[in-house]
Amino acid sequence: MNPFSWSFRTRYLAGFVVCAGLMAFALYAQYVMLLDPCPLCIFQRIAVCFMGLVFLIGALHAPRRPAGRTVYTVLAILGAIGGIVVAGRHLWLQTLPPDQVPACGPGLGYLFDSFPFMKMLKLAFTGSGECAKIEPILGLPMPAWTVIWFVVLGVWAVIAARRTVR
């Protein structure tokens, strides 16, 4: 079964299934492996959920015209770029020497409740000590895996929209 011969709907449904699997693993890592997510991890999850939603709506809608497919592709790529930026920042924090790692900060829930949105984003992207902790999975830290998956899903969205099976 060649995935490049699938219809737009099937390809976008496959993208949704991958995003759902990534979120399932994130929840497994949180509740079974006891890896508490830092604020940057939560933003990466939001990007995965956004892409999953775009893939699901695109699969259900399955536009026939190229313009409709372009809308879904652009939205998926924006989600992928956002996820890559957040994961890249997370990886950068993990490469800092221990003396330059920011102090542990409050959780994302507290930031949402206590600060205006833009201030909360600034504080979250500044990072904190828990963001710099490296827990390798199959030899790579979690943000490296998310960068890989964001790239794969972004490319998949482009391939799904460009190649049409009739």
Q: Which of 11, 38, 69, 89 is catalytic?
A: 38
Point out the catalytic residue in the list 11, 19, 45, 89: 45
**Residue of 19, 69, 89, 131 with catalytic role:** 131
Does the active-site annotation cover 38?
yes
Q: Which of 19, 41, 69, 89 is catalytic?
A: 41
Q: Which of 104, 162, 163, 166 is catalytic?
A: 104
- Let me know if 19 is a catalytic residue: no
- Whether residue 41 lies in the annotated active site: yes
Q: Which residues touch 101 (CB under 8 Å, ≥6 apart)?
A: 93, 129, 132
Residue closest to 141 by CA, chosen among 80, 88, 85, 82: 88
- The residues annotated as belonging to the active site are 38, 41, 45, 104, 131
